[in-house]
Structure 1
Amino acid sequence: MVGLKPSDIPPTPAVKFLSAGTAACIADLFTFPLDTAKVRLQIQGESIATGGTKSIRYKGVFGTITTMVKTEGPRSLYNGLVAGLQRQMSFASIRIGLYDTVKQFYTNGKDQAGVGSRILAGCTTGAMAVSVAQPTDVVKVRFQAQTNLEDTKRRYKGTLHAYKTIAKEEGVRGLWKGTLPNITRNAIVNCAELVTYDIIKETILRHRLMTDNLPCHFVSAFGAGFCTTVVASPVDVVKTRYMNSAPGQYNSALNCAWIMLTKEGPTAFYKGFVPSFLRMGSWNIVMFVTYEQLKRAVMTSRYSLECAA
């Protein structure tokens, strides 16, 4: 350990795995109201009312948040938070925490990875994460779409009740509803998010515009959030609509997209774009900055322990 600094010790896959899940949960705590507003805007216009939302019109991200607070109370902004945190611990841990490991697999351990290897790694970890965490995503979306109005019957009383009810009424397949569009969406999101963050950060460091510290992580995360929102919004809207739909409302995710296009026009695919960007941008900033700091803190602690041994 002589001559080595904490920053010289590469974090292990386990450290990245746990740091990514923890950082994603912290990011969700800060940005969850924006995500809830995004879901409400995305499902607006559905032919079947989702618990009373048919009579309420949402306008813009802050207008949606204000309307929800006035009609349902502040707690409504955190509908589905438990499922959201469950999702991040299982989802982000895999798609972000294992990204570098899978990237090295595709490059046969080489330090320099091409864009193709990065994209393959992003697609792989994104698909793996969805396969594991899909039920938590379904429950989260259902809760966020559910209103807390007094005269409206709630679909689910709690997180466990939601899992049980969906499995009972729609079968186990109901918990994996929308898996295909979600895999598509997360392959796109993972590639846009992680690859863009990777490339922006490497470019900044290569040209010595900044050092590997918080400002660099902030700029890289902001750029990644913007690119991801632009690319992923259409798939995200279809995914949200399909997962929240009643049984039989849509034949498939493609059918959902076609109905949206014919009944609401192309702009329907970008419903909730502003809250999506506000949420994605702020989520990326909090998550990546926290992720980098957690990795550094864990490796510093490990370095201190090994030096003391």
Structure 2
Amino acid sequence: MSTSTSLKPVDGHAGFDFLVRSALAGGFAGGIAKTAVAPLDRIKILFQTHNIEFRQFAGSWKGIPDALRFIIRTQGVRGLYQGHTLTLARAIPHAAVGYTVYDKASRLLMPTPETQTSFRRLLAGAVTGLSAMPFIYPFELIRVRMAIEMRHHSHRPSPWNAIHTIWSEGRSRSTLPILNFYRGFTISAVGTVPYRGGIFLIWETLNAHSRERLSAETLRTHRTQIHLAIGAIAGTVAQVVTYPLEVVRRTQQASGAGSPERMIGFRETVTQVWTQAGWRGFFSGLGIGLIKQVPTHSISLAAWQVAKQILDV
């Protein structure tokens, strides 16, 4: 996420160079942020999918450390990072593409301060969120399916076993097996527009206000702290607004383990969540989601800014 003041025109050759450096900076930021919050991410998925062994921990702040201890006791410390390889395989290219697309989209949609409207900021963020989804979504599905496995650490599921299982489920449904790697893709795409769009909208808007209200000296001295705070606020607001869609998406992604013969739809998923937990079910894991989003967006933004300075993006 870059401030609008950093936008500058580039020629064709410099444009290619910019793409490479921007992708490296974005990928670095995505990998660092995801690694930092990987244990919380796994617990959030287990809460969202109403894993039977984790229902006892959901619904209270004390449940988060209890869940962490439970994983360490039953699976070891490595259990906190189960599926993390797939997380990085998804997060690094997603961040690399996303940040680069956002910079490019911002330059095209908002070349001058006068064109920096709320709608264009939202549109640039939405385009960013959708840009890499078709390519990285299968990695996310595999990661979710690995994360919900609660076997003993000596029988830890591997990515290849998860891929084989998902592929076999697709064949059992008499459809193209590759389509089974896109369970929940539609609701994910729908949720990405307000989520990513909202993040960048809030990010740019608050940055603009900070430039108007704070002195140049304050902005220069406390740039990192300001960026950390704005990134955390943007991620938190977007998370709360779009969280029910995320729960539906996670439930659809996890559904293959219980109903491999078919792909459950949006209405059936909503009914299933409502039947199991009522309206609160659509916010299951929100507490840990918020705890995770604050450091995720803050770390990602800080790491990205450092990488951009080093690479002169």
What's the TM-score once normalised by structure 1's chain length?
Answer: 0.83
Amino acid at match of 1:271: S
Cα displacement string for residues 116-165 of structure 1 (whole angstroms, at most 9, x for unaligned residues): 111112222212221111011101111111113279x76xx422332243
Amino acid at match of 2:97: I
Amino acid at match of 1:200: L
Aligned-residue Cα RMSD (Å) equals: 2.4
Larger mean CA deviation between 72-81 and 96-105 belongs to 96-105
SS in 1 for 2:198: helix
User: Corresponding residue for 1:124?
Assistant: 127
Structure 2 gap ranges (5+): 1-5, 11-17, 171-176
User: Corresponding residue for 2:78?
Assistant: 75
Task: Verify: 1:236 aligned to 2:249, yes or no.
Answer: no
SS in 2 for 1:85: helix
- The structure 1 residue matched to 2:33, chosen from 20, 23, 27, is 27
Q: 1:220 to 1:150 in 2, by over 3 A?
A: closer
- The structure 1 residue matched to 2:68, chosen from 52, 65, 78, is 65
Amino acid at match of 2:27: G
- The structure 2 residue matched to 1:178, chosen from 181, 184, 195, is 184
User: 1:33-182, aligned counterparts within 5 Å?
Assistant: 33-44=39-50, 53-54=52-53, 57-59=56-58, 60-107=63-110, 109-111=111-113, 112-149=115-152, 157-170=157-170, 171-182=177-188
Amino acid at match of 1:41: F
User: Corresponding residue for 1:304?
Assistant: none
Cα displacement string for residues 238-290 of structure 1 (whole angstroms, at most 9, x for unaligned residues): 11111011225762133201221234211101000111001111100100011
Shift of 1:17: 2.3
Higher helix share: 2
Q: 1:9 to 1:121 in 2, by over 3 A?
A: closer
2: CA distance between counterparts of 1:125 and 1:254? 28
Q: 1:32 to 1:87 in 2, by over 3 A?
A: same
Aligned residues: 283
2: CA distance between counterparts of 1:254 and 1:297? 48
Cα displacement string for residues 53-83 of structure 1 (whole angstroms, at most 9, x for unaligned residues): 4487324322211221122221111011010
Over the matched positions of the two proteins, sequence identity in percent amounts to 19
Task: Verify: 1:217 aligned to 2:227, yes or no.
Answer: yes
Amino acid at match of 2:91: Q
User: Corresponding residue for 1:50?
Assistant: none
User: Corresponding residue for 2:207?
Assistant: 201
Structure 1 gap ranges (5+): 1-6, 46-52, 301-309
Task: Verify: 1:15 aligned to 2:29, yes or no.
Answer: no
Larger mean CA deviation between 135-144 and 185-194 belongs to 185-194
